[in-house]
Amino acid sequence: MSSTATHTARGFDHPALLYRGRDEYLAGTLPFIEAGRAAGEPVMVAVPGPNLAAIRDELGPAAAQITMHDMGVAGRNPGRIIPGVLLRFADAHPGRPVRIIGEPIWPGRDALEYPACVQHEALINSAFAGRDATILCPYDADRLDETAISDAYRTHPVMAAAGQRWASADYRDPVAVAADFNLPLPDPPADALRIDLHGTPLTALRRRVAEYGQRHGLPSDRVADLTLAINELASNTIAHAGGDGTLTLWSDACHVVGQTRDGGHIADPLAGRVPPQLDGRPGGRGLLLVNQVCDLVRVHTDRDGTTVRIHVCR
């Protein structure tokens, strides 16, 4: 089939694939890829490195025809997967159905990352509503805990395993599931650096953030990422919360962590996950950029205010 051939739109399909071991993984993913290739559809595989290598080895020379990403790199921050991986691929093929294998939850994701992962899986259903796309999400049923499998049933309308598909009786409204994981964040450490954003010029703030990052072991490119992200968050506080807010900085064994807190409220659950120019949503560009440059972004927002916490790896 040529890229210009007509097709029958099938809408959006978002199944979770439950697998146990390498053989079941390949039995569930390779036919999905081959069906896309046979139909002339663009195919992307975005899965953790070891699984990516297994698929690439099985495909052999045909792997060159597939777009591939190591999700451990491209999706380290779950908040950038929808805009930076999934939508980017779909939008590169306008008017064509696309097939994607996306594996954002794998053994080794920690407790800090997990809520953002589940929000991501739920909000795929909103971000891709009305699009002609299939996104297959593998879940390692041997090594993931029961909570992760239970959440897969809540975030995927369809489940698949061992060549069978069935409707998920536990599937819930994506926005409601995302709201379940809009959780208060633990308090920063007592010795964290606190800066009052009110009256602090952005130039001075950027300088202090850069100095902090350098002092705590970030290489120059990551200092730039930290500074850019904090500048965007502080600019959002100025634009949407009148400038009243606080910045808190601290470091742990692996990251420099920054947090802004202000009185604003983020009403749109897709803010920072869908490029605003695609759907006409006001704002959101700053948070989108923050997701792109940080290794983890966690947000808690309610009517009392919004906390955004970013992690930048050393």
CA dist list (Å): 231 to 96, 126, 203, 244, 293: 38, 29, 9, 15, 12
DSSP sequence for 70-91: EHHHHTSSGGGHIIIIIHHHHH
Which region holds residue 13: left if phi is over 0, alpha if psi is between -120 and 50, else beta?
beta
Distance from C-alpha of 290 to C-alpha of 195, rounded to nearest angstrom: 19
- Give pTM, 2 decimals: 0.93
Q: How far apart are the first and last CA of the chain?
A: 47
Distance from C-alpha of 37 to C-alpha of 35, rounded to nearest angstrom: 5
CATH fold label, 12-180: Rossmann fold (3.40.50)
Instruction: Give pLDDT, residue 2.
Output: 36
Residue spans per domain, the chain: 12-180, 193-313
Distance from C-alpha of 134 to C-alpha of 236, rounded to nearest angstrom: 34
For residue 271, what are its two tokens? 């803010």
Distance from C-alpha of 82 to C-alpha of 270, rounded to nearest angstrom: 10
Which residues make Cβ contacts (< 8 Å) with residue 150, sequence separation at least 6?
170
Reduce the DSSP state of residue 265 to 3 states and report it.
Answer: coil
Q: Does domain 193-313 have CATH number 2.40.50.100?
A: no
Q: Rg (Cα) of the chain, in Å, rounded?
A: 20
Distance from C-alpha of 275 to C-alpha of 66, rounded to nearest angstrom: 25
CA neighbours closer than 13 Å in the CB half-sphere of residue 165: 10
Query: Residues 236-268: pLDDT tens digits?
Result: 999 888 889 999 999 999 999 999 999 999 999
Instruction: Give pLDDT, residue 282.
Output: 52
Check: CB of residue 244 under 8 Å from CB of residue 196. Answer: no
Instruction: Give pLDDT, residue 75.
Output: 97
The residues facing 18 across adjacent strands are 139
Instruction: Give pLDDT, residue 284.
Output: 62
Instruction: Give pLDDT, residue 68.
Output: 98
Instruction: Give pLDDT, residue 243.
Output: 83
For residue 74, what are its two tokens? 């491209």
Instruction: Give pLDDT, residue 283.
Output: 53
Low-confidence stretches of the chain (pLDDT beneath 70): 1-9, 277-284
Check: CB of residue 276 under 8 Å from CB of residue 288. Answer: yes
